Each structure stands twice: as C-alpha cells, then as structure tokens.
Amino acid sequence: MFQFAPYVLKSLWRHRARTMLTVSGAAVAMFVFCIVSSVQEGLERLTTNDDAQRTLIVFQENRFCPTSSRLPEDYSRKIREIPGVKDAMPVQVWTNNCRASLDIVVFNGAPPRQLREARDLTLVSGNWEEFESQRDAAIVGSNVAQRRGLKAGEQFSIGELSVKVAGIFTSPIPAEDNLIYTSLEFLQYTKGVDSAGLVTQHEVHLTTDADPDATASAIDELLKAGPVATTTRRKGAFQTSTLSDLVDLIQFAHWLGYACVGLVLSLVATTTIMSVQDRIKEYAVLETLGVRPLRVFRLVVSEGILLCFAGGVLGTAMALAALGWGGMAIGAEGVTIAFRPSLRLAILGATVSLIVGFLAGLAPATQAARTPILNSLRDE
C-alpha cells in the first residue's frame, strides 16, 4: 500500500488549491467541533467527578443566585453533628455576573485552614502563609490569572472588591481554576456584601461510608426548624441545576458539533468525488496495468483520509491551542465550566477525522473501483 503513497500524495499536491481549501474547510469545522466538545467535556468533568458526587452543597431553599442565598454561618456547626458528615465548610460566594458570561469572576470566601484541607490545590506561585495571615489576601485560579493577566504580589480589584494576589493555584478539577479564594471574613465584610454571620452556602464533606442523598435529607430535616430553610444536593446535581439554562444550550451545541462533522464529511466527499471524476481514466489505466480494483478503492479512500486527517489535526491543534492559551470558561450564578485542552479531546479530534475521512472516501472509491475499465478509458 505504501508503495503507492507517492502517487496519492502527488495527486493531492497536483490540485494544491483544491486540497488546501478542503483541508482548511475541514480544519475550521473540526476546530468548532473540538471547542464544542471541550464545553461538553468541561460540563461532564464538573458534574461527574468524585468531588461532585461525594460533596454536598447546602443552599437556601428556593434560591438560585448566590447573592440571594443567605444562610447562618453557624449552620456548619450543626451540620457537623449529623452522622456521615466529616466536615462542613461555610462558603461566601461573590460573582461579578449572575447571568451567563464568558468572563465570569467568582470569589469564594472560606476559612483558609479548612479550605487547604478540603481542596487539592497546588500553588504555582506565591505562598499559603501570606494567604492565611493577611485578611485581604487571595489565591487566584490559574485560568483567571491567565485571562486577567494576574501575578502573585499584584493587587486585583473588581467592583467593590480589592484583593492582594497571594498566590496562583492549579487544581485537578478544572472549574476550580476559574475561582478566586479569599478568607471568609474578608468576603463577608466587603462593602456591598454585608453578610456578617451569614454565608451563601455550606459545603459538606462526607465520610467514606455515608450515603450522600440520605445525609442531604437529614441536613434539610435538621435545618428546617432553623431561621432559614435549606435545599441540600450533591455538588454535581447542584451545579447542573444552577447551570440548567447553560446545560440546555450546551446540549444544543452538541448537535452543532455533529453538524460540523457532517460538514467535513460532505466537504471531503465532494472534493474526493470531484478528484475521482477528473481522474477516472487514470484509475482505468492503473487497472489496465494490473492494479486490483480493491487497491484502487484503497487509494481513493486514503486520499479522503489524508485530506480529512490533515484538516482534522490542524483544526484540533488550533482548538487545543486556543483552549490552552485562552483560559476560557463559561459560567452562571457563581458556577463555572472550564474549557480545557485535553488528551481525550486530541484523540477524539484525530479519531473523528480519520473515521470521517474513511466515510467520505467510500462513495468516490466505490465509483473508481467499480466503473468498467473500458468506460473509463473512453472518458475524456
């Protein structure tokens, strides 16, 4: 098969303009497909990871935006008494935008020591001690830092908030990289928040043998008698519910991704069939020389695969680069979905382009291999 590789490559090179246009068209479509897939992947990662399944969020009943949920801070103490609860951490949330946004900035205020235990954060610059000792210190997720150009030691202000960046962190949960953590008190006493003794939510960590749903019910039952009723859900369910409007959009975008794949299929199939029709006599000559029809079939399919794979790899690489450099995230109501480049995405892009290339080559290849030699030789 590879003995005929020069023939395939030179045939593609012969119609460079057509080849380049097809490859670039496939690249653009695969770029969109990969971006859409990364959003889906981000949502999936956010709502299905272990943390999302084994952590509970206690929110004020019938409230959705973080600014409207106001729970007593001491609920954490009561929650800790419930069997199955390992720890409960009060969290104050502040966001610059409650609606869907591509540049959402979300502050989470929590007791620094508890935060350090509850989160698997790695500081890439700065230090924890400064964060724990200074009231206005904040540690910033790497995506926000990249997007906003923040470095350790700098001052960052947004709205009524002004913090000193004590460090930049990364997390194995990509959505965490879009958060800024401060101490709980700092965020509670910020002008405009005024939540002394109140928090947005409580984050509940469970023991390994605890049943999350049963514990959630127990928490709500216990706090029903308190000043503010609560709704407790697994973190993943809470995030899915909070992002429900976005989830619908993302699921719709899923079809947009498939449409892009269909576009690549159609584009490459059209180019390949045009190429076959131009060269139908050439294939007849090859068969006359002794090339088997099956080999002719494979030659045409390999052209389709090459075109599509080149476009697919280019588009996927562009998407991964954009995702890596852009630090993009979409969020609503204090919950963010991170778009991250990943090996899975790279493999998906390459695999989809290979499969689409193969499918795109089938019809032209069948035509090239099945047209009677004499009919093709008479073709001028």
Residue ranges binding another protein (CB under 8 A) = 3-4, 6-7, 10-11, 13-14, 281-282, 285-294, 373-374, 377
Least distance in angstroms from the C-beta of 21 to another protein? 19
In this complex, which beta carbon is closest to another protein, that of residue 15 or of residue 148? 15
Least distance in angstroms from the C-beta of 286 to another protein? 7
In this complex, which beta carbon is closest to another protein, that of residue 14 or of residue 151? 14
Q: What is the DSSP string of 131-196?
A: HHH-TTEEEEEHHHHHHHT--TT-EEEETTEEEEEEEEEE-SSGGGGGEEEE-HHHHHTSTTT--T
DSSP symbol at 101: B
In this complex, which beta carbon is closest to another protein, that of residue 109 or of residue 304? 304
Distant-in-sequence, close-in-space partners of 282: CB < 8 Å, separation ≥ 6:
none
Q: What is the DSSP string of 353-369?
A: HHHHHHHHHHHHHHHHH
Sign of the C-alpha dihedral, residues 79, 83, 89, 92? negative
DSSP symbol at 370: H
Least distance in angstroms from the C-beta of 304 to another protein? 17
Give the type of residue at 137: A
Least distance in angstroms from the C-beta of 287 to another protein? 6
Q: What is the DSSP string of 318-341?
A: HHHHHHHHH--EEEETTEEEE---
Least distance in angstroms from the C-beta of 23 to another protein? 18
Least distance in angstroms from the C-beta of 119 to another protein? 60
In this complex, which beta carbon is closest to another protein, that of residue 158 or of residue 291? 291
Least distance in angstroms from the C-beta of 9 to another protein? 9
In this complex, which beta carbon is closest to another protein, that of residue 225 or of residue 289? 289
In this complex, which beta carbon is closest to another protein, that of residue 135 or of residue 292? 292
d(CA 144, CA 122): 15
- 73 three-state secondary structure: coil
In this complex, which beta carbon is closest to another protein, that of residue 84 or of residue 364? 364
Q: Which residue has the tokens 């995702």?
A: 323
